[in-house]
Amino acid sequence: MTATTREQTPVAFDADGVELRTHEIGGGFTVAFVRFDQGVDMSPAFKGLPDDLCTCPHWGYVLKGRIKLHTRDGDALYSAGEAFYWAPGHAPEAAEDAEFIDFSPTAEFDAVVKHVAAQLA
């Protein structure tokens, strides 16, 4: 069994109002601790992926704030205290300062993180 805290989890990137910390926790899954400043829109970082959207599924929980999720089927709003499932084909935007934790298949998540990091560089 593996456990981690936000503070123990390495920073994958910290730029432009986004902090992402990730750690593979086993079973083919990675946990991510994410912070967005209000107004952060991840849509530009996904340019070049299929449909210019995140291709990885995520299961998680919003710890703080509100996140608008843009999808091919329309937008949805997630608020602090809500658990979520985000299917592939989405782009989050921070409606206010937000923090969330999510769990994602490692291989798919790593590919998206690599793409996003290159876009933010």
Q: How does pLDDT run across 74-100, given as a tens digit for each residue?
A: 999 999 999 999 999 999 999 999 999
Classify the C-alpha dihedral 82-88-94-97 as positive or negative: positive
Q: What is the mean pLDDT of residues 22-50?
A: 96
5-18 confidence digits (pLDDT tens): 999 999 998 988 99
What phi and psi values does residue 100 have, to the nearest 5 degrees? Answer: -150, 165
Quote the pTM value.
0.94
Q: What is the mean pLDDT of residues 52-76?
A: 97
87 to 10, 14, 32, 60, 103: CA distances (angstroms): 25, 24, 16, 12, 12
In the predicted model, what is the mean pLDDT of the chain? Answer: 95
With CA atoms as reference, report the closest residue to 42 among 15, 8, 24.
15
CA–CA gap between residue 50 and residue 47 (Å, rounded): 8
